[in-house]
Structure 1
Amino acid sequence: MPSLTGLPLQIIVALLAVAAFAATMWLWPRLGGNGWKAWLGRLGAFFGTQVVVLAALGLVANSYFGFYSTWSDLLGLDGAPGQVVDHQPGGKAIRVTGEQKMYSAQGPAKERSGKIEKIDIRGEASGLNSDAYVYLPPQYFQPEFAGSRFPMALVLSGYPGIPEKLISLLKYPETALKGIEAGQLPPTVLVMMRPTPAGVGNRDTECMDIPNGPQVETFFTTDLPKAMATDYRIYDKPEARAVMGDSTGGYCALKFALRKPDAYRSAVSLSGYYEAPSDPTTGDLFGGNADLKRENDLLWRLENRP
């Protein structure tokens, strides 16, 4: 099956849309009349053309914005609402699986532009795994910073979404590099991810520790900082960590800073919201526990918690 985000599929469906439109125009005079066959013919031609055109537009929009990366992700076939992997203690928490091109006019050399690594993170406390992209600024590779540690910023996409678009569309590494070069930002390591770890399938968890389910908040606030500080030269202290995101990622960012300030002291929300939704993509996040639901209502926390 062709890739959901690949150019060949977009071209094929776009050509089908053009062909459907041309066929409708050619057949329309033959579909005149008041009989039921003529009515069915006109309705079929009209709706068939609309479906193919919308499919072509949807494929282009999905490829650009990165809502779904695979057919399984789109169709909800990535497994159960949430599965936990039983990890044995010990072993490496982060495994580098590849590299991503650095989108910068500064050139590819890591001493000038930095480096983007694709990694797989193993969460010991949560039992979850997830892939992510790590941007290492150029100072990370320069001899004068060889003994230095760096602050970290976790960057979360919306749901659905893919972390690649944080690089190619929202250009977080490129923007960070410009800020570093302008002296507006200290050399900072970025960790770019979806708000739903790969280990929970395609469920929108809203970064919750779900009762009897995946412990997503624990993954982001306990496992991730520990793994990054162990495998990279990153400060292991909350005041050197920040989190930001858009939409669902924005809600998660604010929630981490409010609920777990020992993990992240600073948070930025872009077009986020303040209370977790309840819909078919989330399922029952709170296990019927009204207190737990209230604890994850950020405006309630601001009014009722220190």
Structure 2
Amino acid sequence: MGLTSETTVYVVAAVAAVCVALLVWVWPRLASRGVRHVLGRLAAIGVTQVTIIAAFACWLNSSYQFFGSWGELFGNVDTAPVGVTQAADHTGDGSIGGVTVKGALVQPAGDEQLKRVSGLPTGNPAVNGKVESVKVIGRRTGVVDPAFVYLPPQYFQKAYARQRFPVVVALSGYPGSIFNLAQYLRVSQTAGQLQKSGQMQPTIMVMIRPTIAPPRDTECVNVPGGPQTETFLAKDLPQALKSVYRVGHDASAWGVMGYSSGGTCALQLTMRNPHVYTTAAGLSPDYRIKDDPTTGNLFGSGLGRVNRVNGHDLMWRLKHLPAPQVSVLVADSKHGERGYPQTLAFIKAVKAPMRVASILPESGSHNFPTWVREMPAALKWMNQQLTFPQDVVPRHVPKKGNSTVRAEGTETKKPTAGTRK
């Protein structure tokens, strides 16, 4: 039984119900004052409480997908195949489902979670688009992380067959999952509706979690001697996507967004790696990363610790380092969220050539209903920053001697509407 399956929830709930019934049945027999009977009562209460809590925890995890498997729950995660570091780049057409390419950095994954998401496109992908369930393999880090990839209808249409598409990477909070991004934040559904109505250019949406070493919250930090989260998200992930999908190769075609700690990560990645991501949207973010019980020691010790801590403090970076040439959007509610004053201070601290936009509703909480309200505006704003078409796929034509030559004039950059200024 999978950790997130309904069968597991029902079985654990049934065990809890049986324990409650047994407690009621045996309680009169444990009513004496002897030590043995007192210990029996304590044990019966303890077992019953544990099973009830376990049933509730299984239901909660099944609903929100905090941990996707038993292995993740106990800290055992996949590692990349040995041969991955030798994998060559691919120029595939994105048709991942059902096909496993040895050494590919993006592999098909089970769709158990995907089947539970409502409102996903179905039918002809050239008309409705498609969402794929994959796992991304980090060539440098050895990380294997699940992801959902939304491909717009244009990706499958002949008129766009040689176009590369802009990309928005959507990050979950902690201990969130890609299921939360798809089901509760409704990333692909919202993007699909905006694109269909002409309010957003055709864009590939990649839903992934920054928690690469569950259950530890590594934020977006390269932990000394530990998980290299920043490297995975800033180097491995773009390389893997470029090797399989027709995505833009220039940073102007790449954006990253997220909610809660995922929003923190989006801002961190863009400001620290402007050559990879030029646009970010943080919904209810923090502006510095610090240690807590879920993260452990993120920055190590010794003389380098202070520099590492400061490097992940965005306010410190704005004050002491040159501003990167990026565009960021931040969202926080005036009433109902604790980060509003920090968000105002961040907006005030931004200086050229960096640009900042904001979504500041009068009220809202640190939850999905608030972020869902902010999503359309955030995506439309990001759409205005990213270039499309970013470039075109080189076309090769056959030549005598079984060699190929690139067709003349097939590698161009053609900024149009939505081009980042």
TM bucket normalised to smaller: 0.7 to 0.9
The answer to whether structure 1 residue 267 and structure 2 residue 280 are counterparts is yes
Of 298, 302, 314, the residue aligned with 1:298 is: 314
Q: How do 1:20-99 and structure 2 match up within 5 A?
A: 20-78=19-77, 87-88=85-86, 90=88, 92=90, 93-98=104-109
Residues 228 and 278 from structure 1, CA distance in 2 versus in 1: closer, same or farther, beyond 3 angstroms?
same
Runs of 5+ in structure 2 lacking a partner?
Answer: 91-103, 324-421
Q: Residues 1-59 of structure 1, C-alpha deviation per residue, up to 9 Å, x if partnerless?
A: x3211222211111111122222233334443544444334333322221111110000
Q: Residues 242-292 of structure 1, C-alpha deviation per residue, up to 9 Å, x if partnerless?
A: 111233322211101111122112222234333334246534322212111
- Counterparts of 1:105 and 1:56, CA distance in 2: 29
- SS of structure 1 residue aligned to 2:8: helix
Retained in 2: the 8 A contact 1:246–1:270?
A: yes
Residues 24 and 135 from structure 1, CA distance in 2 versus in 1: closer, same or farther, beyond 3 angstroms?
same
Retained in 2: the 8 A contact 1:97–1:118?
A: yes
Instruction: Read off the aligned partner of 1:88 and give its amino acid letter.
Output: Q
Could you tell which deviates more after superposition, 149-158 or 60-69? 149-158
Q: How do 1:131-142 and structure 2 match up within 5 A?
A: 131-142=146-157
- SS of structure 2 residue aligned to 1:211: coil
- Counterparts of 2:82 and 2:311, CA distance in 1: 24
Q: Counterpart of 1:179?
A: 194
Retained in 2: the 8 A contact 1:94–1:119?
A: no
Superposed displacement of residue 66, structure 1: 0.6
Superposed displacement of residue 67, structure 1: 0.8
- Counterparts of 2:2 and 2:121, CA distance in 1: 31
Instruction: Read off the aligned partner of 1:94 and give its amino acid letter.
Output: L
- Counterparts of 2:298 and 2:313, CA distance in 1: 13
Superposed displacement of residue 208, structure 1: 1.7
Q: Counterpart of 1:243?
A: 256
Instruction: Read off the aligned partner of 2:198 and give its amino acid letter.
Output: G
Residues 13 and 161 from structure 1, CA distance in 2 versus in 1: closer, same or farther, beyond 3 angstroms?
same
Q: How do 1:204-219 and structure 2 match up within 5 A?
A: 204-219=217-232
Q: Residues 99-153 of structure 1, C-alpha deviation per residue, up to 9 Å, x if partnerless?
A: 6558437643212321122334344454544342211011211233223332111
- SS of structure 2 residue aligned to 1:17: helix
Higher RCO (Cα < 8 Å, 6 or more apart): 1
Retained in 2: the 8 A contact 1:96–1:117?
A: no
- Counterparts of 1:69 and 1:53, CA distance in 2: 21
- Counterparts of 1:267 and 1:253, CA distance in 2: 6
Residues 22 and 234 from structure 1, CA distance in 2 versus in 1: closer, same or farther, beyond 3 angstroms?
same
Q: Residues 76-110 of structure 1, C-alpha deviation per residue, up to 9 Å, x if partnerless?
A: 23489x99987236355533415655843764321
Residues 173 and 105 from structure 1, CA distance in 2 versus in 1: closer, same or farther, beyond 3 angstroms?
closer
Could you tell which deviates more after superposition, 90-99 or 165-174? 90-99
Q: Counterpart of 2:355?
A: none
Retained in 2: the 8 A contact 1:245–1:270?
A: yes
- Counterparts of 2:226 and 2:27, CA distance in 1: 55
- SS of structure 2 residue aligned to 1:68: coil
- Counterparts of 1:211 and 1:224, CA distance in 2: 20
- Counterparts of 1:246 and 1:44, CA distance in 2: 42
Q: Percent identity?
A: 39
Retained in 2: the 8 A contact 1:4–1:69?
A: yes
Considering only aligned residues, what root-mean-square deviation do their CA atoms show, in Å? 3.0
Q: How do 1:143-292 and structure 2 match up within 5 A?
A: 143-197=158-212, 203-279=216-292, 281-288=294-301, 289-292=305-308
Retained in 1: the 8 A contact 2:148–2:207?
A: yes
Residues 37 and 124 from structure 1, CA distance in 2 versus in 1: closer, same or farther, beyond 3 angstroms?
closer
Instruction: Read off the aligned partner of 1:290 and give its amino acid letter.
Output: V
The answer to whether structure 1 residue 115 and structure 2 residue 130 are counterparts is yes
Instruction: Read off the aligned partner of 2:309 and give its amino acid letter.
Output: K
